[in-house]
């Protein structure tokens, strides 16, 4: 084969590859569109099949991976530890992580990070969930939701072991840890060392969420809970405990106030914004 023939052959092969690649991209988009239609019709298994084919045909098609992850999430049942259910969650996580490692837009990366965090949260993998919520907040510092979610995780991670330890000591829910009781004092000291960092992180995260969304009543409710966690471990400082409980009560009041404001606004909107004078009621 002379040089010219070889060049022509290589050019023909390259052209065929380019043509096949272009054809695959078109087929991938067709599968993506079919997957979107199936997803809209709540036919999640069909949607998954179409999105998987789209990814196989064009691995660089980020939207297909995003939709594939979303379709997996739609099939996932939070809190159920069935192997098939966990496999579905991990498949979604894998797709979201693939998106993060590609060259996505900021919104795609934020949504992927939040998607991974949400799944890890429901799988009770607290540290992994916080890692991806932090990633989301770094990408979008003005979004209060990742800060709120970190606060919820921190409270859960503190509350569960504290209540388990109290149960071991035979304490009733309303009983405080008594520093004069040797066993209770030891439990309090151990819990304080273990939980203090998470308590402080939780309070800081919830404060940030409320700064970004001043009417964030869910964050206020957890702020109350976090300060009660803090108060229960102030075994050696009764004044600090009293101050923490006072702060917790403040957040209860704020939660109720904000909920009332929201309810009043909703009622006004439902009534067309017409306020009935007191004398007419």
- Per-10-residue mean pLDDT, the chain, length 281: 51 44 79 92 92 92 94 94 95 97 94 97 96 97 98 96 91 84 91 95 98 98 97 91 97 97 91 49 35
In a domain, 156, yes or no: yes
In a domain, 9, yes or no: no
In a domain, 177, yes or no: yes
Write the CB contacts of 171 (distance below 8 Å, at least 6 apart in sequence). Answer: 177, 184
| DSSP structural state of residue 214 | T
CA distance 142 to 150: 15
In a domain, 132, yes or no: no
| Predicted local distance difference test score (pLDDT) of residue 31 | 86
Residues shown for the chain: 281
pLDDT digits 0-9 by tens, 86-143: 999 999 999 999 999 998 999 999 999 999 999 999 999 999 999 999 999 999 999 9
CA distance 40 to 67: 11
- Contact between 89 and 76 under an 8 Å Cβ cutoff? The reply is yes
In a domain, 191, yes or no: yes
Letter string b/e over residues 243-262, b meaning 16 or more CB atoms within 10 A of that residue's CB: ebbebbeebbebbeebeeee
Write the CB contacts of 59 (distance below 8 Å, at least 6 apart in sequence). Answer: none
In a domain, 228, yes or no: yes
For the chain, the domain total comes to 1
| DSSP structural state of residue 277 | P
Sign of CA pseudo-dihedral 104, 149, 206, 158 = negative
| Predicted local distance difference test score (pLDDT) of residue 22 | 59
Query: Which among 173, 182, 168, 104 is positioned nearest to 139, based on CA atoms?
Result: 104
CA distance 245 to 125: 30
In a domain, 5, yes or no: no
Q: How far is CA 109 from the centre of its chain?
A: 14
State the residue for tokens 């159920």: 80
CA distance 95 to 11: 36
In the 3-class helix/strand/coil scheme, how is 22-57 assigned residue by residue? HHHHHHHHHHHHHHHHHHHCCCHHHHHHHHHHHHHH
In a domain, 216, yes or no: yes
| Predicted local distance difference test score (pLDDT) of residue 79 | 86
Q: Domain of 225?
A: 142-260
> Helix (H, G, I), strand (E, B), or coil: what is residue 171?
coil
């Amino acid at each position: 084969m002379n040089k010219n023939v070889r060049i022509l052959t290589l050019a023909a092969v390259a052209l065929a590859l380019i043509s096949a690649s272009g054809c695959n991209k078109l087929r991938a988009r067709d599968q993506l569109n079919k997957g979107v239609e199936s997803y809209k019709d709540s036919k999640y298994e069909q949607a998954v099949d179409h999105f998987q084919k789209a990814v196989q045909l064009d691995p660089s098609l980020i939207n297909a991976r995003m939709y594939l992850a979303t379709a997996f999430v739609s099939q996932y049942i939070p809190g159920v530890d069935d192997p098939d259910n966990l496999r579905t969650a991990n498949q979604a996580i894998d797709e979201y992580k693939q998106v993060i490692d590609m060259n996505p837009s900021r919104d795609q990366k934020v949504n992927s990070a939040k998607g991974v965090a949400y799944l890890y949260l429901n799988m009770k993998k607290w540290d992994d969930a916080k890692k991806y919520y932090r990633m989301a907040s770094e990408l979008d510092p003005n979004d209060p939701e990742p800060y709120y979610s970190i606060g919820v995780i921190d409270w859960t991670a503190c509350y569960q072991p504290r209540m388990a330890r109290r149960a071991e000591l035979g304490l009733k829910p309303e009983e405080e840890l008594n520093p004069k009781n040797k066993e209770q004092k030891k439990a309090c000291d151990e819990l304080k060392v273990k939980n203090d960092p998470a308590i402080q992180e939780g309070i800081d995260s919830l404060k940030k969420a409320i700064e970004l969304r001043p009417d964030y009543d869910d964050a206020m409710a957890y702020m109350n809970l976090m300060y009660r966690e803090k108060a229960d471990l102030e075994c050696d400082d009764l004044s600090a405990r009293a101050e923490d409980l006072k702060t917790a009560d403040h957040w209860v009041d704020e939660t109720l106030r904000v909920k009332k404001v929201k309810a009043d606004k909703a009622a006004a909107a439902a009534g067309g914004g017409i306020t009935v004078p007191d004398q007419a009621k």
